């Protein structure tokens, strides 16, 4: 973070400073275990514990300042605020304002029901070749995680890439008001978190917030293949840069588009087009759906005036999308495991199953799908899990292992769809699934492990994958 005095931080967050006007020279943290000398610690109440309990630990680690929601007994410089989360966002906004004034900061915001983290990582790989780049750790994209990413920048930062997630309508608007993105990327509107939002139309309204406040000198990077994202063009004053799988109309062509998409166990191939030019794309990342994420990242690079061929080459160096996202593991014995159990929605589940089916047919290997629950679907849950089971049959997955009560509809639907019943099994938990897999996997099998994080299958994928 920028070097700031405690009095400046108090003014930025609307708080009251107690104690001396200390200077903060380190990072801002909400976890006392991550505090470093000269840093600031935000003590905030949480769902599990209260950050105020860990003030002493933060001070022992060298915190120069504490931001708290009540006066502290410790004799330490601290700023008292009404709401720690609001204060964190206010400080992030001030830091971005100062860095913009002092340097050449470009802010890129990324949202969508699927693909945010992969696209963020792709942008990091492209942009870091052109200047100091800051992007989120893991999937820090909410009202706490996004400001924490913003607070990592300093005067030298050239690019700031932000994931912007939402639990309710209005969340993305609050994040964009902090960061004021120069480019806003919308990947897809799907059923991820639809239960929390109350339906896909509310999800659409939430994702539209990314582009609504962009000005005429900004760029909205939009997925032309998604009907709901396509409609966002009418909600923004920004210049539109389209990406997709078709060249688009002559009067408003797609900026970048892909053809000849092919998914293999060695990676993903496509041809990238811009006008009359074309380049081969070779990703080491598995799954043809990642071509759309690559297109989004490359469209940002193109809008920034960066060399497209160099950007494509940067994507080719990425070993994986992210930990537990279509992560290829080779445990030995001729078995391949694809661990994709960090997140799951109906769209990403369908994409992963189609990729598994295509890759294994091409390689003449047996496909095994180990599927758990997709979370946060609300009243759509039974229908969408049923749909996944039927899709597994239709794309001809060879063996289906369904794990957990919340996912049982996948197994039930697969049994009903055809005579697939003898090739599908339901088990109660990951331990039973592991025992079944270890006794039945054969050399040459390709195993996809896919679920929401809450289903707890990522560790199963690691164990089967030999990690």
Q: Which of 37-51, 80-94, 117-131, 378-392 has the weakest average pLDDT?
A: 37-51
Comparison of pLDDT for 52 and 196, the residue scoring more: 52
CA 64 to each of CA 28, 79, 89: distance values in angstroms, whole numbers, following the listed order: 10, 11, 20
Q: What percent of the chain is predicted at pLDDT more than 90?
A: 80
Q: What confidence category does residue 45 fall into, taking pLDDT thresholds of 50, 70 and 90?
A: confident
116 is in an annotated binding site: yes
pLDDT of residue 419: 64
Domains and CATH numbers, the chain: 4-82 (3.40.1390.10), 103-316 (3.40.1190.10), 327-464 (3.90.190.20)
Please state whether the predicted TM-score (pTM) of the whole model is above 0.85: yes
User: What's the rounded mean pLDDT across residues 62-82?
Assistant: 96
User: What's the rounded mean pLDDT across residues 235-246?
Assistant: 97
287 is in an annotated binding site: no
pLDDT of residue 84: 95
pLDDT of residue 356: 95
- List, for residues 421-467, the tens digit of each pLDDT value: 558 999 999 999 999 999 999 999 999 999 999 999 999 999 999 98
- List, for residues 328-347, the tens digit of each pLDDT value: 999 999 999 999 998 899 99
Q: What confidence category does residue 192 fall into, taking pLDDT thresholds of 50, 70 and 90?
A: low
Classify residue 400 by burial, with Cβ atoms within 10 Å: 0-12, 13-18, 19+.
buried
115 is in an annotated binding site: yes
CA distance from start to end of the chain? 35
CA 107 to each of CA 32, 57, 159, 183, 262: distance values in angstroms, whole numbers, following the listed order: 28, 34, 6, 7, 32
Picking from 368, 351, 340, 362, the residue whose alpha carbon sits closest to that of residue 266 is 362
Q: Which of 175-189, 278-292, 369-383, 409-423 has the weakest average pLDDT?
A: 409-423
- List, for residues 380-402, the tens digit of each pLDDT value: 899 999 999 999 999 999 999 99
Q: What confidence category does residue 404 fall into, taking pLDDT thresholds of 50, 70 and 90?
A: very high
Q: What confidence category does residue 194 fall into, taking pLDDT thresholds of 50, 70 and 90?
A: low
For 310-324, letters b (16+ CB in 10 Å) and e give ebbbbbeebebbbeb
333 is in an annotated binding site: no
pLDDT of residue 433: 97
pLDDT of residue 137: 84
User: What's the rounded mean pLDDT across residues 174-179?
Assistant: 95
pLDDT of residue 420: 54
15 is in an annotated binding site: no
Contact status, residue 220 vs residue 240, Cβ threshold 8 Å: yes
User: What's the rounded mean pLDDT across residues 54-63?
Assistant: 96
Handedness of CA 162, 163, 167, 168 (dihedral sign): positive
Comparison of pLDDT for 192 and 387, the residue scoring more: 387
Q: Is the pLDDT of residue 197 over 60?
A: no
Contact status, residue 22 vs residue 65, Cβ threshold 8 Å: yes
Q: Is the pLDDT of residue 131 over 60?
A: yes
114 is in an annotated binding site: yes
117 is in an annotated binding site: yes
Q: What confidence category does residue 113 fall into, taking pLDDT thresholds of 50, 70 and 90?
A: confident
Q: Is the pLDDT of residue 196 over 70?
A: no
pLDDT of residue 49: 80
Q: Average pLDDT, whole number, for the chain?
A: 93
Comparison of pLDDT for 97 and 421, the residue scoring more: 97
Q: Is the pLDDT of residue 245 over 60?
A: yes
């Amino acid at each position: 973070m920028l070097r700031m005095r405690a009095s400046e931080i108090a003014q930025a967050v609307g708080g009251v400073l107690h104690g001396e006007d200390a200077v903060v020279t380190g990072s801002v943290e909400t976890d006392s275990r991550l505090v470093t000398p000269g840093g600031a610690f935000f003590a905030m109440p949480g769902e599990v514990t209260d950050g105020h309990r860990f003030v002493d630990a933060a001070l022992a680690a060298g915190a120069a300042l504490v931001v708290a929601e009540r006066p502290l007994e410790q004799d330490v410089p601290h700023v008292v605020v009404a709401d720690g989360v609001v204060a964190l966002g206010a400080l992030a906004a001030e830091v971005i304002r100062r860095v913009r004034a002092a340097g050449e900061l470009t802010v890129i915001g990324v949202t969508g029901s699927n693909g945010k983290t992969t696209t963020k990582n792709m942008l990091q790989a492209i942009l870091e070749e052109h200047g100091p780049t800051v992007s989120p750790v893991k999937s820090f994209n909410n009202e706490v995680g996004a400001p924490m990413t913003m607070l990592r920048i300093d005067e030298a930062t050239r690019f700031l890439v932000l994931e912007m997630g939402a639990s309710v309508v209005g969340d993305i608007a609050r994040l964009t008001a902090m960061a004021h993105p120069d480019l806003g990327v919308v990947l897809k509107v799907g059923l991820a978190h639809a239960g929390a939002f109350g339906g896909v139309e509310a999800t659409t309204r939430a994702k539209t917030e990314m582009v609504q406040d962009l000005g005429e000198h900004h760029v909205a990077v939009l997925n032309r293949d998604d009907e709901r994202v396509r409609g966002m063009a009418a909600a923004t004053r920004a210049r539109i840069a389209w990406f997709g799988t078709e060249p688009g109309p002559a009067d408003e062509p797609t900026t970048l588009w892909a053809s000849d998409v092919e998914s293999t166990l060695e990676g993903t191939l496509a041809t990238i087009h811009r006008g009359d030019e074309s380049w081969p794309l070779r990703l080491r990342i598995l799954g043809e759906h990642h071509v759309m994420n690559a297109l989004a990242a490359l469209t940002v690079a193109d809008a920034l005036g960066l060399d497209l061929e160099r950007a494509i080459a940067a994507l080719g160096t990425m070993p994986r999308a992210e930990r537990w996202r279509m992560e290829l593991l080779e445990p030995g014995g001729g078995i391949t495991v694809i661990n994709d159990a960090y997140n799951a929605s109906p769209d990403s589940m369908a994409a992963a199953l189609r990729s598994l089916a295509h890759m294994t047919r091409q390689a003449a290997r047996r496909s095994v799908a180990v599927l758990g629950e997709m979370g946060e679907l609300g009243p759509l849950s039974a229908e969408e899990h049923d749909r996944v089971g039927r899709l597994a049959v239709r794309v001809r997955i060879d063996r289906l292992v369904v794990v957990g009560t919340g996912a049982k509809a996948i197994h039930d639907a697969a049994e009903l769809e055809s005579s697939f019943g003898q090739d599908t099994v339901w088990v109660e938990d990951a331990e039973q699934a592991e025992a079944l897999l270890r006794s039945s996997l054969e050399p040459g099998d390709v195993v996809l492990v896919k679920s929401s994080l809450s289903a707890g299958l990522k560790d199963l994928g690691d164990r089967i994958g030999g990690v």
